[in-house]
């Protein structure tokens, strides 16, 4: 996005927020939230990549432990390793990323609706509202597929309480941990890709909305210039026809 579009984009969202707070649209999103979404989405993708790294590192330690620990002690030792490595927190972080992505998608979808209501003449070649809905469904589908690997349901990932309960049960055995780690890795990989896709869609949305505002401003500027020129001609004519003193 060039500097002109960036400037227009900032003005665009502050204008939308101002009109919304004035009562034009209920439940409007704060402009800073919308403008920060580009950075937020990138940070979520980075966090997802970090969880993948943590899971892979732990998985390597667990496999080494499985190769060196007697089977009768493996469950207890693996459980201690899970606790010492704070792996439950890693999965909490992953859950936060998934839920944060859903919230951003919802915010951007609402922003599109609000923009269309404020600018009836606006039209987009891409249906962003439906695009964000599909993104949300695809993301939840990826989580469901990952959870099915370890025989769990997506509902077990929906709340922190249910997720911790599921992980606590599986962390008691090395095999259960491996299943959870595989699911976590799959979710992390999916979220990296999904966040990149979400960011691309948001940038396209922002560019199209900004371009529309820029075109409307250009049209207004042309009209203002024409009025000023005409007014200048009238004033010049009046000056020329003044009688001599």
Write down the H helix ranges in 69-86. 71-84
Mean pLDDT of 39-68: 95
Domain boundaries along the sequence of the chain: 30-119+126-209
Inform me whether the pLDDT recorded for 116 exceeds 90: no
Taking the model in full, what pTM does it have?
Answer: 0.75
Residue 114, φ and ψ in degrees, nearest 5: -65, -40
What band does 30 get if pLDDT is binned at 50, 70 and 90?
very low
pLDDT of residue 221: 47
Residue 119, φ and ψ in degrees, nearest 5: -130, 80
Token pair of 168, please? 């606590």
In terms of Cβ atoms closer than 10 Å to its own Cβ (0-12, 13-18, 19+), residue 234 is exposed
Q: Among the listed ranges 16-25, 68-77, 165-174, 186-195, which one has the minimum average pLDDT value? A: 16-25
CA distance 51 to 53: 5
* pLDDT-above-70 percentage for the chain: 71
CB 1 within 8 A of CB 210: yes
Distances (CA, A) of 193 to 47, 92, 95: 12, 19, 16
Distances (CA, A) of 243 to 115, 233, 237, 239: 55, 18, 12, 9
Inform me whether the pLDDT recorded for 48 exceeds 70: yes
SS3 81: helix
Which of 201, 180, 202, 209 lies closest to 54, judged by CA? 180
CB 17 within 8 A of CB 30: yes
Inform me whether the pLDDT recorded for 5 exceeds 70: no
Distances (CA, A) of 68 to 43, 62, 71, 74, 84: 38, 10, 9, 9, 18
Give the CA-trace dihedral at 159, 164, 169, 172, to 10 degrees: 160
């Amino acid at each position: 996005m060039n500097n002109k579009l960036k400037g227009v984009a900032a003005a665009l969202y502050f204008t939308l927020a101002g009109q919304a707070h004035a009562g034009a649209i209920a439940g409007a999103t704060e402009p800073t939230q919308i403008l920060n979404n580009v950075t937020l989405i990138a940070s979520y993708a980075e966090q997802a990549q970090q969880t993948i790294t943590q899971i892979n590192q732990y998985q390597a330690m667990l496999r080494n432990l499985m190769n060196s620990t007697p089977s009768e002690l493996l469950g207890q030792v693996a459980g201690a390793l899970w606790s010492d490595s704070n792996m439950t927190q890693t999965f909490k972080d992953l859950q936060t990323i998934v839920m944060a992505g859903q919230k951003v998608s919802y915010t951007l979808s609402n922003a599109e609706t609000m923009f269309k209501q404020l600018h009836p003449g606006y039209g987009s070649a891409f249906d962003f509202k439906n695009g964000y809905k599909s993104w949300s469904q695809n993301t939840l589908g990826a989580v469901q597929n990952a959870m099915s690997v370890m025989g769990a349901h997506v509902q077990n990932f929906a709340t922190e309480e249910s997720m911790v309960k599921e992980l606590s049960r599986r962390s008691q055995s090395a095999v259960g941990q491996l299943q959870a780690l595989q699911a976590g890795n799959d979710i992390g990989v999916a979220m990296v890709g999904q966040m990149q896709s979400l960011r691309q869609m948001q940038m396209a949305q922002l560019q199209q909305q900004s371009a529309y505002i820029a075109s409307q401003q250009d049209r207004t500027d042309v009209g203002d210039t024409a009025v000023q020129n005409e007014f200048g001609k009238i004033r010049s004519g009046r000056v020329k026809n003044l009688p001599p003193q």
